[in-house]
Structure 1
Amino acid sequence: MQHSVVVVDDHVLIAEALTGMINKFKRYTVLYEADNGKSLVERFKQPVNIPDIVLVDINMPEMNGFETAQWLTQNHPGIRILALSMQDEEETIIKMIRCGAKGYLLKNVHPGELEKALDALMDRGYYYPDWIAHKVLLSLSSEKETPAAPKITLNDREKDFLRYAATELTYKEIAEKMFCSPRTVESYRDSLFEKFGLKTRVGLVMYALRNGLIELN
């Protein structure tokens, strides 16, 4: 069965290269390209233009990747959103996840991994490569094969930190919001890393979202 894809990127050469690459994959075909989120919204006025997957860049004029992902999540929640960007900062990745992206890749990705990501989005509903949150993905992939983990108790300050961690705020800005020192914020982070068996902020947020410890706004 063929699945439809739309490429949203303001760099024409990159968009065309992605289209040519995806059209070689057995299960996928590109419906069209859009140069920003605003153009995508216009195309969506025609039901025939609504795909299974939207591949979206982050830095775009008029309507960027964050805004595009939010609009898609609110108006077409069944569409799988795959972010493809040159940005690998934790805050950017977390923000895209909060906006509704179910996968995240860097633009230097190998064609084989891109196809793998598209397959995972269609088959499992999400795709995050090992470099984002290795331990979290191992936990999710074996979720049905292992007994449920014991319930972990969080105090109110840890819950507050988790909610702020799922934003684009830096640790220093989180400390200001929580009216404490950056060192105290780091202690909350380290405590949660230990409780969940994680090592990265992205992994922490993904785990919290997956297990209902925090909710998307």
Structure 2
Amino acid sequence: MKKKIAIVDDHVLIAQAIKGVISNFKNFEVLYECENGKELIDKIIKKNQLPDIVLLDISMPIMNGFDTAKWLQENHPDIMVVVLSMQTDEESVNKMIKYGAKSYLLKNSHPRDLEIALNTMIENGYYYPDWASRLIFSAINKTNGKLANKLSEREKEFLRYCITEMSYKEIAELMHCSPRTVESYRDNLFEKLDLKSRVGLAVYAIKNGFE
């Protein structure tokens, strides 16, 4: 069954273009388009039409992408949010991840990259391209000490790799240890930080590790 996508973008031509691109994807289809976050919320509440994925712009009138992502996180956390924007600043990326975004893409991305991102996100729970991962790494490196006091050096190293699209096996190879050891780092972090997902580890680091 195809995953249903809602496109939220105030530029109608762009939304239509994205819809056309997605129509060629094997595993996805567009449920509806909205011009802002309020319109999306109205459709979810009044029509009870829940998408699996929301492709979300940031700069929109009436209700922007930040407020929309926050509402979705609080009311429908199972809906996967993919930011599709031209904003590449660290603050915007970190804020959207804080509000539960599972991916952050640029509007000038190639259609094939969008399809890869969507499929990878469905499989792994998240997808961040290299440029976004670098910004997230930067935020984590601005640790204020609270995170550092709780984690070992190896756990912090694993946490940084966790934000990339690498598999646990690939992380284990980079850390020169076994996949089982990497899984132990993951489980220890889940327990220490009271988290349940790999994305949650990245969100925790961003929320608590930079000022």
* SS of equivalent to 1:5: strand
* Number of residue pairs aligned between Structure 1 and Structure 2: 162
Q: In 2 relative to 1, CA 127–48 (structure 1 residues): closer, same or farther, beyond 3 Å?
A: same
Q: 1:148 Cα deviation (Å)? A: 3.1
Q: In 2 relative to 1, CA 23–59 (structure 1 residues): closer, same or farther, beyond 3 Å?
A: same
Return 5+ residue gaps in structure 1 as ranges: 152-205
- Written as runs of structure 1 = structure 2, the 5 A alignment for 1:1-217 is 1-46=1-46, 48-133=48-133, 136=161, 141-144=166-169, 145=172, 146=179, 147-148=181-182, 209-210=201-202, 212-213=204-205
CA–CA separation in structure 1 for the residues paired with 2:79 and 2:8: 14
CA–CA separation in structure 1 for the residues paired with 2:184 and 2:31: 45
CA–CA separation in structure 1 for the residues paired with 2:79 and 2:15: 19
Return the index of the structure with the highest Cα Rg. 1
Return 5+ residue gaps in structure 2 as ranges: 135-159, 173-178, 186-197
Which letter does structure 2 place at the counterpart of 1:142?
Answer: S
* SS of equivalent to 1:15: helix
Q: In 2 relative to 1, CA 57–139 (structure 1 residues): closer, same or farther, beyond 3 Å?
A: closer
Give the helix-richer structure, 1 or 2.
2
Q: 1:81 Cα deviation (Å)? A: 0.2
State the Cα RMSD in Å: 2.7
CA–CA separation in structure 1 for the residues paired with 2:90 and 2:55: 20
Q: In 2 relative to 1, CA 137–107 (structure 1 residues): closer, same or farther, beyond 3 Å?
A: farther
Aligned-pair identity (%): 48
Contact kept? 1:208, 1:214, Cα under 8 Å: no
Q: In 2 relative to 1, CA 58–139 (structure 1 residues): closer, same or farther, beyond 3 Å?
A: closer
User: What is the TM-score with the length of structure 2 in the denominator?
Assistant: 0.69
1:85-132 CA distance string (max 9 Å, x none):
011111110011111111000100000000011111211110100122
User: What is the TM-score with the length of structure 1 in the denominator?
Assistant: 0.67
